[in-house]
Amino acid sequence: MVFDLFLGALLQVKKRALHLQEVAVTNPRSDLRDIQRQCIEKLKQTLAEIDGLIVETETIWRQDPSLALDLYRHLSDQVFIIERNGVFSLIHSPESDAFLTKLIQQVCKDIGFPVLAPNVSQTSRTHYRFERQFNLMFVPPLESQFLLHLPDLYHELCHPLFSKEYKQLPSLQPFRTQFSNMMLDRTQALSQQLQMLDRREGPAEEMLRLNTWLASWAPDWLEEFYCDLFAIFTLGPAYAWANCHLCLKLQENPFATPSKGKVEHPPNAARMSIMLMGLRRLGFDDAADGCSALWADQVQTTGYSEDMAFGQCFTDAVLEDVVSSAFKAFEDIGLKRSEPGKHASVALCLNQAWDSFWADPEGFGEWETKAVTHLQKELAGAAS
């Protein structure tokens, strides 16, 4: 009986994939062609896998039902991902998405971004989010009317560089080599500490903590640090200010360093430290001083303070190594670095937005509305 349910469920997944294919193929929006192509391609691959499983399903079930279920769940999830991300955007993306997609295309041109510019969809239910499978950035529905969080687009823009689609791309090899070597250095350093602790039969709690840090660094924390540094490298101070702005909305301890279970994001205080290090390397000392003072105030206001675990996990030496490695990776693939007094185009607008905010926080809203209109006109002109 369970087999009947399993087989019926598998056929339902196939039916759903076929319906999604229908929706994707018939979508009329020319500005969403990239997403449409991705959906069609992924559905084709998934349908081939589903057919393969249908053919062998009885044999696999007879020998190992748990394996048959694993394979079914993977396919079912894949169809769900295509429906929820790609096809969802095809159906629900507003026409105003075109502005932010143009904006990200302009950013890519300005900084010498080496791969395909992503599309932007204003359908996020949370903050900014990048979906690798569809090369698609999700932002909140009204984001095209505001400027202070747009620097986060630069952070998200780094994520495609880690996509498996570009694994073999020769022009990205220097980037991958830098990142992979840094990853190996971190994992080896932490593994050695674990081995030493194991040899002298150190406390189990300490073992668990080191194990947690190892699982978190590789690769998630390192990738997040790279993305933060990418935004600093290509945009400059506006990204650090935007991060203070975002952290003001979060109610978490910025020094919280996990000790029992892997956490995907490094603590915000470590991220801020690495951004400030990056700004100073680029020569933005005044902005780094200002941002550092603001951050210190912000942390003091929330009542949190650095603890020993944070200090051990994120030493200045380790963070400085990450900055060196990331900046070398960006330079090696020809990205244009942000320099004091030399901003232009979108980077100029976003840095000016923060300068304007600090000059007059109360009157900024009016300035912002005019600046958005101006930016829309500029981008429309650049595209025509």
Partner 1 sequence: MSGDTRLSVVADRLDEYGLLAAKARRATLSLATPDTTSISAFADLLEPQERDNVALDAVVFQVFLRTRLGFKDADLRDLRQSLLDDSISEKTSERLKCIAESLERERAAARHRLGGA
Q: Is 46 in the site for partner 1 (CB under 8 A)?
A: no
Tell the residue number behind the tokens 């190992």, with chain if given: 64
Looking at the DSSP bridge assignments, the partners of residue 119 are 136
Q: Is 148 in the site for partner 1 (CB under 8 A)?
A: no
Q: What residues between 183 and 202 interact with partner 1 by CB under 8 A?
A: 183-185, 187, 191
Q: Is 126 in the site for partner 1 (CB under 8 A)?
A: yes
- What is the distance between the alpha carbons of residues 356 and 136, in angstroms, rounded to a whole number? 30
- What is the distance between the alpha carbons of residues 55 and 273, in angstroms, rounded to a whole number? 55
| Closest separation in Å from C-beta 227 to partner 1 | 8
68-97 footprint of partner 1 as x/- string (CB under 8 A): --xx-xx-xxx-x---x-------------
| Closest separation in Å from C-beta 136 to partner 1 | 11
- Side by side, the strands of the sheet bearing 136-138 are 119-121, 136-138, 129-131
Q: Is 301 in the site for partner 1 (CB under 8 A)?
A: no
Q: Is 59 in the site for partner 1 (CB under 8 A)?
A: yes
Q: Mind giving me the DSSP string for 59-99? A: HHHHH-HHHHHHHHHHHHHHHHHIIIIIIHHHHH--TTHHH
Q: What residues between 245 and 274 interact with partner 1 by CB under 8 A?
A: 246, 262, 264-265
- What is the distance between the alpha carbons of residues 143 and 258, in angstroms, rounded to a whole number? 32
Q: Is 130 in the site for partner 1 (CB under 8 A)?
A: yes
Instruction: Tell me which of 45, 145, 180, 305 binds partner 1, using CB under 8 A.
Output: 180
- What is the distance between the alpha carbons of residues 72 and 7, in angstroms, rounded to a whole number? 9
User: Which C-beta is closer to partner 1: that of 97 or that of 223?
Assistant: 223
| Cα Rg of the chain (Å, integer) | 23
Element (H, E) at 215: helix 204-216
**Residues found near partner 1 in the complex (CB under 8 A):** 56, 59-60, 63-64, 66-67, 70-71, 73-74, 76-78, 80, 84, 124, 126-133, 152, 155-156, 159, 162, 164, 176-177, 179-181, 183-185, 187, 191, 211-212, 214-215, 218-220, 223-224, 227, 243, 246, 262, 264-265
